[in-house]
Chains A and B, each alone.
Chain A
Amino acid sequence: MVKVQRVRNVAWRKIGDETVVVNLGRKMMYGLNELGGRVWEALNEPVDVEILERFVLTEAGHEELARSSLRSFLAELAQEELLLGGSPAPADPTASEGYANAPAITWREEIRKFAGNCGLLPAGGGACTSVPQFS
Chain B
Amino acid sequence: MSRSGGMLCQPAPRIERSLCRDQTWSACSVDLAGVVVDLRMTSREKLARIRAGFAGFLTEGVPHFTIVIHNERDGNKSAQTVQTLDLERRTLFLDGSIDPAHVEGALRNLLPGLLSPALLVHAALLADGRRAWLCCGSSGSGKSTLARLFPSFALGEELAAVSPVEGYFRASALPMRTARRGTVPLTGVHILRHGKKNIRRRLPPAEALRSLHRHVYWPLDDQAAFSAAFATLGELTERVPVWDLAFRPDSSAWTTISREA
Q: Contact: A120 with B175, CB < 8 Å?
A: yes
Residues on B lying within 8 angstroms of A by beta carbon are: 1-2, 49-50, 52-54, 77-78, 81-83, 85, 99-102, 104-109, 122, 138-139, 158-159, 174-179, 204-206, 209-210, 213-214, 216-218, 220-221, 223, 226-227, 230-231, 234, 237-238
Q: Which of A11-26 contact B (CB under 8 A)?
A: 11, 13, 15-18, 20, 22, 24
Report the minimal beta-carbon distance from B116 to chain A, rounded to whole angstroms: 12
A interface: dominant SS: loop
Contacts known (A20-B209, A114-B218, A116-B122); A13 close to B101, Cβ less than 8 A = no
Which residues of B lie under 8 Å from residue A22 when comparing CB positions? Answer: 226, 230
Q: What's the Cα separation between A13 and B85 when bound, in Å?
A: 31
User: A79-120: contact bitstring with B at CB < 8 Å (1 yes, 0 no)?
Assistant: 000000000000000000000000000010101111011111
Q: Contact: A120 with B174, CB < 8 Å?
A: yes
Contacts known (A16-B204, A31-B210); A118 close to B50, Cβ less than 8 A = no
Q: What's the Cα separation between A85 and B183 when bound, in Å?
A: 47
Closest to B82 in A: A132
Q: Is A123 an interface residue (CB 8 A)?
A: yes
Which residues of B lie under 8 Å from residue A118 when comparing CB positions? Answer: 101, 104-105, 108
Q: What's the Cα separation between A22 and B219 when bound, in Å?
A: 13
Give the number of A-B contacts (CB < 8 Å). Answer: 131
Q: What's the Cα separation between A29 and B211 when bound, in Å?
A: 12
Which residues of B lie under 8 Å from residue A15 when comparing CB positions? Answer: 205-206, 209, 234, 237-238
Contacts known (A22-B230, A123-B49, A134-B109); A117 close to B104, Cβ less than 8 A = no
Contacts known (A11-B226, A117-B158); A122 close to B177, Cβ less than 8 A = yes
Q: A122-B176, A127-B99, A135-B1 are in contact. List 7 more A-B contacts (CB 8 A).
A: A16-B206, A20-B209, A113-B220, A116-B217, A120-B174, A121-B50, A132-B106
Q: What's the Cα separation between A132 and B70 when bound, in Å?
A: 15
Which residues of B lie under 8 Å from residue A127 when comparing CB positions? Answer: 77, 99, 101, 104-105
Which residues of B lie under 8 Å from residue A135 when comparing CB positions? Answer: 1-2
Q: Is A54 an interface residue (CB 8 A)?
A: no
Q: What's the Cα separation between A27 and B177 when bound, in Å?
A: 29
Closest to A132 in B: B81
Which residues of B lie under 8 Å from residue A132 when comparing CB positions? Answer: 1, 81-83, 102, 105-106
Q: Which one, A13, A27, A112, contacts B234 given CB within 8 A?
A: A13
Q: Contact: B205 with A16, CB < 8 Å?
A: yes
Closest to A9 in B: B223
Which residues of A lie under 8 Å from residue B100 when comparing CB positions? Answer: 121, 123-124
